[in-house]
Amino acid sequence: MKQKVLVYIFFFFSVYFSSVYAAFDEGIEYKSIKPPVATQTGNKIEVVELFWYGCGHCFRLEPRMKQWLKSKPANVEFIRIPAVFLDKRWELHAKAFYTAEALGVLDKIHDPFFEQIHVNKKHMHTKSEVKAFFVKHGVKAEDFDNTFDSFMINIKVNRARDLSKRYGAEGVPTLVVNGKYRSDGPLASGHANLMKILDHLIDIETKAISK
């Protein structure tokens, strides 16, 4: 009996101390961004999700991200940025994101656009496909045409392309904290750990700011 009790005690403390002293290390679970990228959230900690609609990992991260957003710290401002790399589809999808944002319909477009690609298996490779999707979701064709190729949208897409490089992202989804740190699925070894690392990096920045 004593032996069994000792085993339980050992198991309890091993689990307890492993959780207490579990740590994430720079260069392993996350990386520093050098030089840091200027933020746009004032005195709040900026959290950026760099994503692509065509990315299955981004699609699967969405439920976790939504859950996290419900209880995110009050000192955190969350921003989505569509990654733009070499493939033209990234630019097309970035324009779709910023068009929806500019027209005030992002809440109607964002999730269905992901689902159109990953559930309905419609890859949205052309402007005409994107336009038809927007019209189906209540956007006037004229409003889409006036916005999609506008100077304002192109400026935002070019900025997203620039930030994708400056963050040093090696893939998506990538989470960036205050322009200083980034992590992604491979670094974190999975989405569950990625969210824990996000909280860890926010804690680092919160303590740094309060000093």
How far is Cα 123 from Cα 102, in angstroms, rounded to an integer? 23
How far is Cα 171 from Cα 169, in angstroms, rounded to an integer? 6
CA-wise closest residue to 177 among 20, 60, 72, 23:
72
Phi then psi for residue 160, to 5 deg, are -60, -40
Q: Which helix (H) or strand (E) holds 9?
A: helix 2-20
How far is Cα 51 from Cα 79, in angstroms, rounded to an integer? 11
How far is Cα 149 from Cα 87, in angstroms, rounded to an integer? 18
Q: Is the CB of residue 82 less than 8 Å from the CB of residue 94?
A: yes
Beta bridge partners of 78: 47
In tens, the pLDDT along 118-134 reads: 999 999 999 999 999 99
Q: Give the pLDDT confidence score for residue 22 in this predicted structure.
A: 53
Q: Give the pLDDT confidence score for residue 16 in this predicted structure.
A: 40
Mean pLDDT of the chain: 91
How far is Cα 16 from Cα 86, in angstroms, rounded to an integer? 46
> Mind listing the domains of the chain with CATH numbers?
26-210 (3.40.30.10)
The mean per-residue pLDDT over the stretch 78-102 comes to: 96
Q: Give the pLDDT confidence score for residue 175 in this predicted structure.
A: 98
Residue 185, amino acid: G
Instruction: Please name the residues in contact with 88: beta carbons below 8 A apart, sequence gap of 6 or more.
Output: none
